[in-house]
Structure 1
Amino acid sequence: MNGLRRHGARIAITFLPVLFALLHAADVWRWPLLAHLDQFIYDARLRATMPGTLDPRIVIVDIDEASLEQFGQWPWSRDKLARLTNELMGRQQAAVLGFDVLFAEPDASSGLPVLRQLAAGPWRNDPKFGAEIERLAPSLDHDASFAKALAGRRVVLGYYLTQTGEPRAKGVLPKPVLPLEALPAARDLATRWNGFGANMAQLAAAAPEAGFFNVVLDPNEDGVVRSVPLIARYEGGAAQSGYYESLALAVHRVLKGGAPSLVPVLAPPGPRAGAPVLEALVLGSTRSSLRIPVDASGGMLVPFRGRGGPFGGSFRYVSAARLLDGSLAAGELQGKAVLIGATAPGLQDLRATPVDAVFPGVEVHANIISGLLDRRLFAVPDYAAGYECATLLLAGLLLAFGLTLLSVPRAVLLAVFTAVGLAALNTWLYLAAGLVLPLAAALAMVPLAFALNMSWGYFVEARASRNLATLFGTYVPPPLVDEMRADPRRYSMHAQSKELTVLFCDMRGFTRMSEQMAPAELQAFLNAFFSRLARIISEHRGTVDKYMGDCVMAFWGAPVDTADHATLTVEAAIHMAAVVQEINQSHRASGRPEISVGIGINTGLMSVGDMGSAERRSYTVVGDAVNLASRLEGLSGYYGVEIVASAATRDASPCYLWQELDLVRVKGKARAVHIFTPLSRARNAAQGKDEALERWGLTLAAYRAQEWRRAQELLAPLLAADPKKVLYRLYAERLASLSLQPENPDWDGATRFESK
Structure 2
Amino acid sequence: MVSLSWQGRMPALFELFELDLYDQRIKQALSETVDPRIVIVDIDESSLARVGRWPWPRDRVAQLIEALYLDYGVAVIGFDVLFSEPDETVQLSPLQTLVQGGGVLTAEMLDAMDGDARMAETLASFPAILAIAFDPDDADLAVGETGPALMVEPPLSDSLPIVQAQGVVGSMPLLARSATSGFFDNPLVDPDGVFRRVPLIQRYKDQYYPSLALAMWQSLLLSDSIKPIIESDLSGSYQVLTAIDAGGVEIPVDPQGAMLVPYRGHQGSFPYISAGDVLEGIAPQETLSGAIVLVGTSAAGLLDLRVTPVGPRYPGVEVHANVLSALLDQRFFYKPDFLRALNAVQMLIVGLVLSLTLPRLSVLMGTIITGLFGVGVVAFNFYAFSQLYWVIPLAGVTLLILMLYLFMQTTGFLFESNIRRQLSRTFGQYVPPEVVRSLEQVGAADQLRGESRQMTVLFSDVRGFTTLSETLSPTQLTRMMNIYLSAMTAVIHRHKGTIDKYIGDAIMAFWGAPLDDPEHAVHALDAALEMVAALPKVNQLLEAEGLPQLRVGIGLNCGEMAVGNMGSNFRMAYTVMGDAVNLGSRLEGLTKYYGVDLLVSEQLRDQCTDHCFRELDRVRVKGKQQAIGLYEPLAVMDSIEPEWAQRFSQGIEYYRSHEWQRAECCFKEVISLRHGVDGPSQVYLQRIQDLTASPPGVEWDAVFTHTEK
Deviations 1:653-711 (A, max 9, x none): xxxxx6799xxxxxxxxxxxxxxxxxxxxxxxxxxxxxxxxxxxxxxxxxxxxxxxxxx
Deviations 1:417-465 (A, max 9, x none): 2321221121111112112222223333433443343334335532532
Aligned to 2:265: 306
Any conservation in 1 of the 2:557–2:581 contact (CA below 8 Å)? no
- The answer to whether the aligner puts 1:230 opposite 2:200 as a matched pair is yes
Any conservation in 2 of the 1:584–1:594 contact (CA below 8 Å)? no
Any conservation in 1 of the 2:163–2:203 contact (CA below 8 Å)? yes
AA in 1 matched with 2:619: G
Any conservation in 2 of the 1:279–1:382 contact (CA below 8 Å)? no
Deviations 1:31-80 (A, max 9, x none): 21122122222222212321111111111001112212222221111110
Change (3 A) 1:345 1:528: closer
- The answer to whether the aligner puts 1:214 opposite 2:185 as a matched pair is yes
Aligned to 1:441: 396
Change (3 A) 1:174 1:483: same
Q: Secondary structure at the match of 1:297?
A: coil
Aligned to 2:683: none
- The answer to whether the aligner puts 1:258 opposite 2:222 as a matched pair is yes
Distance 1:294 1:159 in 2: 21
Aligned to 1:640: 619
- The answer to whether the aligner puts 1:297 opposite 2:256 as a matched pair is yes
Distance 1:228 1:29 in 2: 20
- State the 1:95 CA deviation: 1.0
AA in 2 matched with 1:216: P
Distance 2:151 2:583 in 1: 92
- State the 1:111 CA deviation: 7.1
- State the 1:93 CA deviation: 0.7
Aligned to 1:177: 150
Alignment of 1:483-632 (within 5 A): 485-486=444-445, 534-535=511-512, 549=532, 550-552=554-556, 558-560=564-566, 565-566=577-578, 577=601, 579-580=603-604, 582=606, 593-595=613-615
Any conservation in 1 of the 2:5–2:190 contact (CA below 8 Å)? no
Q: Considering only aligned residues, what root-mean-square deviation do their CA atoms show, in Å?
A: 4.9
- The answer to whether the aligner puts 1:280 opposite 2:246 as a matched pair is no
Any conservation in 2 of the 1:280–1:293 contact (CA below 8 Å)? yes
Aligned to 1:197: 169
Distance 2:17 2:293 in 1: 36
Aligned to 2:53: 73
1:96 to 57, 70, 76: 76
Scaled by the length of structure 2, the TM-score of the pair is 0.64
Q: Secondary structure at the match of 1:192?
A: coil
- State the 1:553 CA deviation: 8.5
AA in 2 matched with 1:215: N
AA in 1 matched with 2:565: P
Distance 1:68 1:376 in 2: 36
Distance 1:586 1:349 in 2: 93
Distance 1:437 1:132 in 2: 69
Any conservation in 1 of the 2:160–2:239 contact (CA below 8 Å)? no
Q: Secondary structure at the match of 1:345?
A: coil
Aligned to 2:549: none
Percent identical pairs in the alignment equals 31
Distance 1:539 1:392 in 2: 45
- State the 1:488 CA deviation: 11
AA in 2 matched with 1:594: R
Change (3 A) 1:385 1:344: farther
Q: Secondary structure at the match of 1:132?
A: coil
Change (3 A) 1:102 1:582: same
AA in 2 matched with 1:282: D
Alignment of 1:345-494 (within 5 A): 345-381=300-336, 384=339, 387-388=342-343, 390-459=345-414, 461-465=416-420, 467-469=422-424, 471-472=426-427, 475=431, 485-486=444-445
2:701 to 705, 724, 729: 724
Change (3 A) 1:530 1:540: closer
Aligned to 2:85: 105
Q: Secondary structure at the match of 1:417?
A: helix
Change (3 A) 1:267 1:489: farther
Distance 1:90 1:594 in 2: 124
- State the 1:352 CA deviation: 1.6
Aligned to 2:121: 148
Any conservation in 2 of the 1:192–1:232 contact (CA below 8 Å)? yes
1:136 to 78, 103, 109: 109
Aligned to 1:696: none
Distance 2:25 2:115 in 1: 48
Deviations 1:260-318 (A, max 9, x none): 763222244699x962221211234xxxx42211111111111111222xxx2x11111
Unaligned runs of 5+ in 1: 1-23, 116-127, 492-501, 508-522, 597-636, 647-657, 662-717, 732-750
Change (3 A) 1:93 1:410: same
Scaled by the length of structure 1, the TM-score of the pair is 0.61
Any conservation in 2 of the 1:388–1:439 contact (CA below 8 Å)? no
Unaligned runs of 5+ in 2: 96-101, 451-455, 462-490, 500-508, 533-553, 568-573, 587-599, 629-695
Q: Secondary structure at the match of 2:54?
A: coil
Aligned to 1:707: none
In the comparison of the two structures, how many residue pairs are matched? 538
Distance 2:378 2:177 in 1: 52
Deviations 1:620-654 (A, max 9, x none): xxxxxxxxxxxxxxxxx7x922x5448xxxxxxxx
Distance 2:401 2:497 in 1: 54
Distance 1:173 1:295 in 2: 24
- State the 1:570 CA deviation: 7.2
AA in 1 matched with 2:164: R
AA in 1 matched with 2:165: W
Distance 2:109 2:367 in 1: 84
- State the 1:324 CA deviation: 1.6
Change (3 A) 1:25 1:45: closer
Any conservation in 2 of the 1:61–1:320 contact (CA below 8 Å)? yes
Any conservation in 2 of the 1:97–1:251 contact (CA below 8 Å)? yes
